[in-house]
Each structure stands twice: as structure tokens, then as C-alpha cells.
């Protein structure tokens, strides 16, 4: 089904080219206007930051603001041809995407704006026509152009949405299409397309003034994406260290103020080094992303998951007591243990099996602890889980001098005394967070991370 869906727009675009080429009255003025639009569009594309395409999903790059003028002011064949050089430049210069997806996108734009061109020409000259005119005619002309942009822009957009949904039925299109940034981007793209068409209808030379406007608007629209990129770990899509620490401090303060429970969990992938040594670091990256996806799928929207570096992850579970946190961690452990991560995209690719160890701690309602206390207890629990066989969930109570530790595995529990100043699995940056937070009282975490000879 997906293959047929993806193949249909290119076929329709080729049919549209075949139908319009023989019926077009080729004129030099139209060709010059087309080349001017192509040059403006290519300048806009070449200035597009690569980060605009790095996040995946639906990218609003404002390419279509240059296609609508071609559909309205030039013969329909130019509307079909216009996306080709622009999408080719994106593929060659800006971002090397998957080729068939780029072809599909170009074809959907061609088909959508070919329909828009035909719709515009279906209106009588008294309402639309080849020139803007003045008075009431200018108003009706702009209204028809806006209608054509809805047909062309929304039409090709919904074709792409359909392909995304077919390729990933679990994708939540409401989150992609109806959030504030997406709606603002759609409105800005619609507005720019209509205004540029109106300006070019008055004088094609004015196109040179439209380019800076498009660049400025797109830069403004990317602010939210740039802000998100500064918060996210690029490899896993989880919160980075500094962002997680900041949000965790805020959640902890809120829990203490409202006398609510809160839990912290540290997650470590067992034998991760052997994955890198056996299959290579690219496969190791796939494993990291798979575990990150598992964390997101098993946690609530208001929980916080971050990556601290290497194969370590950290969780903050709001409104969660120790018993619930242990059950969440156990569910996550079983979920990861049942996963099989392919080493590449081949259907018959070998699979990598993996397990995780989890250290959990929590503060009950009405208690007060510092974030460093919770991280210290969770790390001690994690170390105990790793030392006693891995693929386990360990629970420790945050304490100053020692902690009573319970290790859960298959419904059984064993208890041990744990020294918070003992060996640690924390990455160096987490140790820095803990020690800096306790400088006033003297560092508790004085020992370095485990050496290469210590089991992980």
C-alpha cells in the first residue's frame, strides 16, 4: 500500500508535464520570470540552516512560497517544474535525505500546485484573470489566489501526512500538525505565498525584496526548534545533562513545597561496551536510541528522562512513591529485556539483545532532600544491581551516612548496607554535579568512577 501511495504522485506529475508541455505557448518573458523565481527560491533554499532538517518529521522550509507565483502568473507547466530544482538543491546542498522521499515531496508539490493553477484559470477574468487590477477586482483576485494556495499548499501537505501515517501508524499527527509552532508555520507559509504572488503580479523585479522577508520569517519560526535543540541530547532525543538537572531541581522543589512524593532512577545498559566492540559504534548508537525510545514509551508525559553520557540515563518520576517507582523500573527492565534491536535496516538483519540495570530512590510525602542526595542513593543502588548480576532493579533510601538497600528481581528481595561514599557508576559530569552541590558541607562523593577493570 505504501509503495503504491509513494509511487502515485511522481506518475501524476509526469502525466501533468506531458499534458501541458504540448499545450504551452512558450514565451521568453515567461521563461525569464520563471528563472527569476527559481533563482530567488534557490537563494532561499541555500540559506536554509541544516538544523531545520535534522529533527525529522514535517519540515516547513517555505519552498512553496515560490511555487504559488509560478502557478498563478505562468502557464501550468511551470508550476509542475518549479519544485524540481528547489528540492534538488536541498538534497545536494542543504540536507542529504532519502532520495525517494525527496522525489515524493517534489511530486506532491507539483501535483498540488498544478491543481491550483487549473483552479485559478477556472475563474472568469472578471474575478481573477491575468492581472491584479484595482478596486473590487484586486480584492477578488487576492481571494482567489488565497483559495489556490489552500488547494496547492494544503493538498500536497495532506499527501505527505498520509505517507507519514502509512509508514508509521503509531505517529501522533495531532502532536505534529496541531501544535502552536506547526500552526504558526502553516499560517506564515500561506501568508508569504499570497503576498509574494501579489507583489510579483505588480512587478516581477520586486521578487528580490521578497527573499530577505522569507529568510527573516523562517529564522523567526525556527526559534522554537533552535531552543529545543539546545535542550536535547542529539543522539537519543532525551534531555541533556544541564536541562535535566535544571528541570529536576524545579520538580524537586515543587514536590517538597506541595509535600508530594518523587522518585529518581538511574539506568545503565548492561555490557554496552561489548555491543560496540562486536558490532561497532553505529550499532551502539542504534541501541542507545532504542533504549531512549523505550524510556519515552514507558514513562508519563510529565516525567523527565535524560542522558548523562555514555550508556547512562536518568529518570525523574513526579508524584511517585518508592513502591510505584520500583514497579515502573521493573516494567521498564522487562520491556528492554524483551527488545531486539536490528543492527541495520535490512529486513533480515541480525538482532542485538540487551538488558538494563536500574537504581531507584524516592522521597516520601513531606520529606525534604537535595537532588544530590537522591542521585547519590540511586547511584549506590545502581552499583549494587550491577555488582550482583545485572538485569536487576535496586532500591535505596536517600540517607546521609548509609542506606538500606533492597534489590528486586522476580518478586524476591535481598538487603544490604550501602556506603554512599563507595564505588560509583556515575559519569564524571554527574559526579561534578553532586560534588558542586555539596561544596558547602564538604564533598560526599570523593571517589572517582570505576576503572576499566571494574565490571559494568
Which residues are catalytically annotated? Answer: 311
The H-or-E segment that residue 409 falls in is strand 403-409
Q: Give the sign of the dihedral formed by CA 379, CA 385, CA 387, CA 390.
A: negative
Q: What residues pair up with 418 in beta bridges, in sequence order? A: 403
Contact 76, 20 (CB under 8 A): yes
Task: Put residue 271 in one of left, alpha, beta given phi > 0 → left and psi -120 to 50 → alpha.
Answer: left
Helix axes 428-437, 371-387, angle to 10 degrees: 140
Angle, CA 232 vertex, CA 377 and CA 254 arms, to 5° = 50
Q: How far apart are CA 272 and CA 253, in angstroms?
A: 34
Total residues belonging to the chain: 456
Break the chain down into helix, strand, coil percent, rounded to 5.
60, 10, 30
Residue 147: helix, strand or coil by DSSP? Answer: helix
Residue holding cell 488565497?
A: 146
Question: Cα torsion for 392, 397, 402, 406, to the nearest 10°?
Answer: -30
Amino acid at each position: 500500500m505504501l509503495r503504491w501511495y509513494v509511487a502515485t504522485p511522481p506518475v501524476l506529475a509526469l502525466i501533468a508535464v506531458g499534458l501541458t508541455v504540448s499545450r504551452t505557448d512558450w514565451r521568453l518573458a515567461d521563461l525569464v520570470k520563471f528563472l527569476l523565481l527559481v533563482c530567488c527560491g534557490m537563494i532561499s533554499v541555500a540559506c536554509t540552516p541544516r538544523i531545520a532538517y535534522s529533527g525529522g518529521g514535517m519540515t516547513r522550509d517555505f519552498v512553496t512560497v515560490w511555487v504559488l507565483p509560478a502557478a498563478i502568473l505562468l502557464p501550468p507547466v511551470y508550476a509542475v517544474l518549479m519544485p524540481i530544482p528547489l528540492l534538488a538543491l536541498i538534497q545536494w546542498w542543504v540536507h542529504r535525505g532519502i532520495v525517494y522521499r525527496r522525489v515524493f515531496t517534489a511530486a506532491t508539490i507539483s501535483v498540488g500546485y498544478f491543481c491550483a493553477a487549473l483552479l485559478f484559470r477556472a475563474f472568469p477574468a472578471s474575478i481573477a484573470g491575468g492581472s491584479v487590477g484595482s478596486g473590487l477586482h484586486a480584492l477578488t483576485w487576492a481571494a482567489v489566489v488565497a483559495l489556490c494556495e489552500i488547494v496547492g499548499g494544503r493538498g500536497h501537505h495532506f499527501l505527505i501526512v498520509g505517507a507519514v501515517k502509512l509508514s508509521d501508524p503509531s505517529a501522533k499527527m495531532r502532536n505534529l500538525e496541531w501544535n502552536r509552532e506547526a500552526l504558526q508555520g502553516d499560517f506564515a507559509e500561506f501568508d508569504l505565498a499570497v503576498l509574494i504572488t501579489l507583489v510579483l503580479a505588480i512587478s516581477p523585479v520586486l521578487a528580490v525584496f521578497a527573499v530577505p522577508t522569507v529568510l527573516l520569517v523562517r529564522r523567526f519560526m525556527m526559534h522554537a526548534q533552535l531552543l529545543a535543540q539546545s535542550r536535547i541530547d542529539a543522539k537519543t532525543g532525551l534531555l541533556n545533562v544541564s536541562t535535566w538537572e535544571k528541570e529536576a531541581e524545579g520538580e524537586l522543589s515543587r514536590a517538597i513545597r506541595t509535600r508530594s512524593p518523587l522518585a529518581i532512577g538511574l539506568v545503565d545498559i548492561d555490557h554496552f561496551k561489548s555491543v560496540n566492540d562486536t558490532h561497532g559504534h553505529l550499532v551502539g548508537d542504534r541501541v542507545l536510541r532504542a533504549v531512549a525510545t523505550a524510556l519515552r514509551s514507558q514513562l508519563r508525559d510529565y516525567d523527565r528522562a535524560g542522558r548523562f553520557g555514555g550508556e547512562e540515563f536518568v529518570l525523574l518520576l513526579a508524584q511517585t512513591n518508592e513502591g510505584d517507582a520500583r514497579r515502573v523500573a521493573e516494567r521498564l527492565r522487562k520491556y528492554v529485556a524483551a527488545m531486539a534491536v536490528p543492527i541495520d535496516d535490512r529486513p533480515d538483519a541480525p538482532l542485538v539483545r540487551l538488558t538494563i540495570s536500574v537504581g531507584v530512590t524516592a522521597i516520601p510525602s513531606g520529606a525534604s532532600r537535595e537532588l544530590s542526595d537522591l542521585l547519590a542513593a540511586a547511584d549506590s543502588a545502581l552499583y549494587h544491581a550491577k555488582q550482583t548480576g545485572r538485569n536487576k532493579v535496586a532500591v535505596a533510601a536517600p540517607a546521609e551516612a548509609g542506606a538500606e538497600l533492597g534489590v528486586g528481581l522476580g518478586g524476591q528481595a535481598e538487603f544490604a548496607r550501602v556506603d554512599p561514599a563507595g564505588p560509583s557508576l556515575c559519569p564524571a559530569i554527574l559526579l561534578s554535579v553532586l560534588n558542586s552541590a555539596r561544596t558547602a558541607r564538604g564533598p560526599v562523593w570523593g571517589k572517582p568512577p570505576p576503572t576499566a577493570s571494574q565490571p559494568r
